[in-house]
Amino acid sequence: MNHSDLTPVDVTIIGGGPTGLYSTYYAGLRGMSCRLIESLPYLGGRLSALYPEKYIYDVAGFPKILAKDLVSALEQQAFYHSPEMIMNETVNHLHKEDDIYTLETKSGKKFASRTLIITSGIGSYSFRKHPHPEAKNWEGKGLEYQILNKNQYKGKKIVILGGGDSALDWALDMLPIAKSVTLIHRNAQFRGLDSQVNELRNSSATILMESEIIDFIGSDKLECLKVLTPLGEKTISVDGCIIFFGLHSSLGGLKNWGLKIEHSDICVNSCMETQLPGVYAAGDGVTYEGKLKLISVGFSEGAIAVNRAKTFLNPKSKFQPIHSTTIMENSSHERK
Ligand SMILES: Cc1cc2nc3c(=O)[nH]c(=O)nc-3n(C[C@H](O)[C@H](O)[C@H](O)COP(=O)(O)OP(=O)(O)OC[C@H]3O[C@@H](n4cnc5c(N)ncnc54)[C@H](O)[C@@H]3O)c2cc1C
């Protein structure tokens, strides 16, 4: 249950993306009591929000894995040591008294912790919406801002809006599944990779450049889109319209915590330490020389942050843990 809890845990992880989930597992491995707070109603960060049905090829040990399957595996691993999971709460304020940090969420709930690991990625985010005043009335009735299950469009006529990587990527991905794919972009040029643009131009997709939707038509669900193209108005019959206009993201209250921030990223040293004692950060939301914004890099940063938090709480404990086999096989959560 999401209620305030002023009993301090050893570590609180802020953000349940891949970095936060792996850090949660690692905190359990190091015998730390752990609470994870996530602003969305689901875990997995951008893998769940933006590309659950896409394959990832560059996570060690998985030559190819669907993003949603990687999230399921990370969740399973994160839950080994029964951490406390607080969903639908956005951490906003930070207060410190007698070596204990108190986090306050946007809804006013308070949580106490001895150390913190910020794994908030690009911050809390929401989808950039279509500006047409009617668009919001069609959300969930044929108009979507993400594809959570691509099979729902099997044999359907779909329209994809946008000109960046996500729009191009999804248009290509949906070609073998959908009955038809129309890509609409309001500008004369795409922002995505030339290779993808060429692949699309040589495919069965219909591409409408310098075009925009001027009306959404339907009864209970979206049936047609009226589109203004350079050649005049056109009405397109649709089963689904998916809009990829990017995300609004915000660090929110985190930027007032006294952390050093460069271009919206939290500056950390090689131990993932921030400017505040006992506060660490890892994943896509951090910067240091040589930083790579990749899932695999977030995993190792999470492990470093947790081990550092462990020695911060107990300077006698080892920074370098012993083998996971030894720890897991001696724990009550032994892998069956
Ligand atoms: C289309 C696409 C394809 C990609 N493909 C690959 C790939 O093939 N390989 C690869 O390595 N990387 C890929 N990436 C990048 C990868 O998604 C990121 O590196 C990864 O998501 C970073 O994980 P994270 O946990 O640091 O951040 P995120 O995934 O952004 O998760 C951060 C979480 O923190 C939560 N949060 C933020 N602020 C707060 C707050 N104040 N309170 C509570 N919760 C908060 C957010 O809601 C979110 O769930 C891709 C990215 C995109 C967009």
DSSP string, 234-285: EEEE-SEEEE---EEEE-GGGGGSS--EETTEEE--TT-B-SSTTEEE-STT
Q: Is the model's pLDDT at 327 over the cut of 80?
A: no
Residues 141 and 111 in one domain: no
Q: Count the neighbouring beta carbons within 10 Å of the beta carbon of residue 314.
A: 13
Q: What integer pLDDT is reported at residue 334 of this predicted model? A: 45
CA 43 to ligand 1: nearest atom: 49
Full-model pTM: 0.86
**88, 40 Cβ separation under 8 angstroms:** yes
Residues 219 and 264 in one domain: no
Separation of first and last alpha carbons in the chain: 28
Q: Is the model's pLDDT at 67 over the cut of 90?
A: yes
| pLDDT band with cut points at 50, 70 and 90 for residue 194 | confident
d(C-alpha 192, C-alpha 173), whole Å: 14
Q: What integer pLDDT is reported at residue 51 of this predicted model? A: 85
Residues 86 and 140 in one domain: no
Structure tokens at 231: 């050649």
Q: Is 293's C-beta closer than 6 angstroms to any atom of ligand 1? A: yes
**Residue pLDDT, tens place only, 243-291:** 999 988 888 899 999 999 999 999 999 999 999 999 999 999 999 999 9
Q: What integer pLDDT is reported at residue 2 of this predicted model? A: 66
Q: How many domains does the chain have?
A: 2
For residue 134, give the CATH number of its domain.
3.50.50.60
Instruction: Kindly give the interhelix angle for 295-313 and 18-29, rounded to the nearest 10 degrees.
Output: 40
Q: What integer pLDDT is reported at residue 116 of this predicted model? A: 98
d(C-alpha 149, C-alpha 95), whole Å: 41
| pLDDT band with cut points at 50, 70 and 90 for residue 335 | very low
The mean pLDDT value for 97-109 works out to 96
Residues 152 and 87 in one domain: no
- Of 120, 170, 196, 291, the residue with max ligand 1 atoms within 8 A of its CB, to mutate for a pocket test, comes to 120
Q: Is the model's pLDDT at 303 over the cut of 70?
A: yes
Q: Is the model's pLDDT at 224 over the cut of 80?
A: yes
Distance 20 CA to ligand 1 centre (A): 10
Q: What integer pLDDT is reported at residue 228 of this predicted model? A: 97
- Provide the residue range defining the domain that includes 221: 129-243
Structure tokens at 139: 């959300």
Q: Is 50's C-beta closer than 6 angstroms to any atom of ligand 1? A: yes
Distance 225 CA to ligand 1 centre (A): 32
In this structure, the dihedral spanned by the alpha carbons of residues 312, 267, 117 and 310, taken in order and rounded to 10 degrees, is -20
Q: Is the model's pLDDT at 169 over the cut of 50?
A: yes
Q: What integer pLDDT is reported at residue 191 of this predicted model? A: 87
| pLDDT band with cut points at 50, 70 and 90 for residue 336 | very low
Distance 253 CA to ligand 1 centre (A): 19
The mean pLDDT value for 115-122 works out to 97
Q: Is 65's C-beta closer than 6 angstroms to any atom of ligand 1? A: no
Q: What integer pLDDT is reported at residue 3 of this predicted model? A: 78
Burial 153-168 (b: 16+ CB within 10 A, else e): beebbbbbbbbeebbb
Residues 88 and 160 in one domain: no
What contacts 98, CB < 8 A, 6 or more positions away? Answer: none
**249, 123 Cβ separation under 8 angstroms:** yes
The percentage of the chain sitting over the pLDDT mark of 90, rounded to a whole number, equals 82
Q: Is the model's pLDDT at 36 over the cut of 70?
A: yes
| pLDDT band with cut points at 50, 70 and 90 for residue 295 | very high
- Which runs of consecutive H residues, i.e. helices, occur in the chain? 18-29, 46-49, 67-78, 165-174, 194-201, 295-313, 324-330
C-alpha of 307 from chain center: 24
Q: Is the model's pLDDT at 108 over the cut of 90?
A: yes
Residues 314 and 299 in one domain: yes
**233, 227 Cβ separation under 8 angstroms:** yes
What contacts 39, CB < 8 A, 6 or more positions away? Answer: 15, 88, 89, 90, 91, 124
The mean pLDDT value for 127-135 works out to 95
**3-class SS at 137?**
helix
Residues 10 and 103 in one domain: yes
Helix or strand holding residue 6 (H, E): strand 5-14
Q: Is the model's pLDDT at 119 over the cut of 80?
A: yes
Domain membership flag for residue 335: no
Distance 17 CA to ligand 1 centre (A): 5
d(C-alpha 280, C-alpha 268), whole Å: 8
Residues in the chain: 336
Residues 197 and 258 in one domain: no
Tell me the helix, strand and coil percentages in the chain, rounded to 5. Answer: 25, 30, 45
Residues 154 and 214 in one domain: yes
